Structure formats: C-alpha cells, structure tokens
Amino acid sequence: MIPWEEIDRAKIPGEKGDITLRKRGTEFSIRIAGIELMNSRLHGSEEALAKLTCSRIKGKLNLRILIGGLGMGYTLAAALEQSSRDTRIIVSELIPAVVRWNREHLGHLAGMPLDDPRVAVEEEDVAKIIRQRRSAWDAILLDVDNGPEGLTRQANDCLYSRSGLKTSFLALRPRGILAIWSSKADETFTRRMNQCGFQTETLTVRARKSGKGGKHIIWLGEKF
C-alpha cells in the first residue's frame, strides 16, 4: 500500500493543534488531531449539499449565496455548476491554509472553482459574515465542523444554537434556504430549526457520488 505523505501543516486560528494536508497517490486527506475531516474520494454528500439547495432557488435572478467552509472545493464547484452567470458566491473559510491548499494542491480535484469570476473568498468566521447583513442571501450553506455536534472548534457551536439559527434566518431573503451538512442525524436540532422559523426538510445522502459509502445528513430550512 502506498504510504501517506504529509504535504503541509498549519495552525488553526484561535485554537490549539494543527490541521494537516496529506496525500497518498492521487488521494488527498485533511485532518485535525489525527481525525480525518475530509477525503478526496468521499465528496458526494458535499456536492449534494449544493445541488439540493440550488434546486430550490433556481429561477431567481442575481442570486447571492454564502458558503461556510471551503473544504476541498466540491460544494463550491457544485454550486457553480447549478448557477447562472449573474450569481455571486462568497466562500467563508476561517483557516488561510485551506484556501492556499485549494489554490496550490487541491484545485484540480473540483475543476479549479476558485478561479471562477463569480466567486470571492473571505478568510473570516462565517458566523461573523452572517451577522453583518440582514436579508442579504438567497442561500447559506454550512459545512462547518461536522455539523451541529462540533468536532474541532467550540466557537462553531454558536452557528447551530437557537440564537445562531435566528441570525441566519434574518440574514436570508424571503424564500431563502439555510442548508446544513452533518455527519449524523439529530432530531433535537431539527426541532430547533423549526422553532426558529424554518420550514425544515431532513435528507439522507451518501458519502460517495455512486450512492455508496457512509450516510450523511443535510438539513434544508426555508424561510417563509
């Protein structure tokens, strides 16, 4: 078996520990504290996050989409594929190294989505961007820290709290969508979304595009 090679290592802003980029043959892996956050072989659910969201906002003009978490660029690439020329997408990525890795090592995996003129990247906490404006977004897509049950960063919990969900609700335009990726289901969180004003749909998707692999959860909350 081909051994893993560490390509780079970086500090996580405001946190202890490092994030690492590893490669084995044509396969890439991003890990924190030895735990794999993402792998280039398993991106079907990340693409589904964008495709399911965009299918619900198609037909609108001048769409404005906020993506929290760049990852390996698969969610962004899928959103671009589903979007028209007048769409504008902001990607919020807290860790500068992840942005750099996408430009230097990972971009080819998803078709170089950061090169698309419809895209702008902000190296900022997505929670801060959401708080900045009301009625600004047609969709907010969150693929941050494994979902509501955080894995790496306690500060991310505020996104999924009652106050965080209400802030996202206010940041959306009418009929806007809050889409959230998670590694597992959480009925309490579904109820919380509904209590914060969203009409919520919970979908199960597979990790692989082939329909195989582990099961992940996507919440789609529509603002009425």
Reading the block at residue 80, the tokens are: 């671009």
Task: Give residue-wise pLDDT tens across range 76-100.
Answer: 999 999 999 999 999 999 999 999 9
Provide mean pLDDT across the span 46-67: 96
Q: Pairing state of beta strands 137-142 and 64-68?
A: parallel
What pLDDT, on the 0 to 100 scale, is given for residue 13? 85
Specify the pairing of strand 137-142 against strand 35-39: unpaired
Q: What is the pLDDT of residue 154?
A: 55
Matching residue, tokens 């940041």 = 171
Q: Do residues 126 and 133 lie in contact, with contact meaning Cβ atoms separated by under 8 Å?
A: no
Q: Can you give the pTM of this predicted structure?
A: 0.94
Instruction: Tell me: pLDDT of 72 over 50.
Output: yes
Q: Which CATH architecture has domain 42-223?
A: 3-Layer(aba) Sandwich (3.40)
| Residue count (the chain) | 224
For residue 23, with 0-12 CB atoms within 10 Å meaning exposed, 13-18 middle and 19 or more buried, which class applies?
Answer: middle
Q: Where are the domains of the chain?
A: 42-223
CA 189/CA 151 separation, integer angstroms: 16
pLDDT (tens digit per residue) in 7-40: 999 998 877 889 999 999 999 999 998 889 999 9
SS3 134: coil
Q: What is the pLDDT of residue 147?
A: 79
- For the packed helices 162-171 and 187-195, what is the interaxial angle rounded to 10 degrees? 50
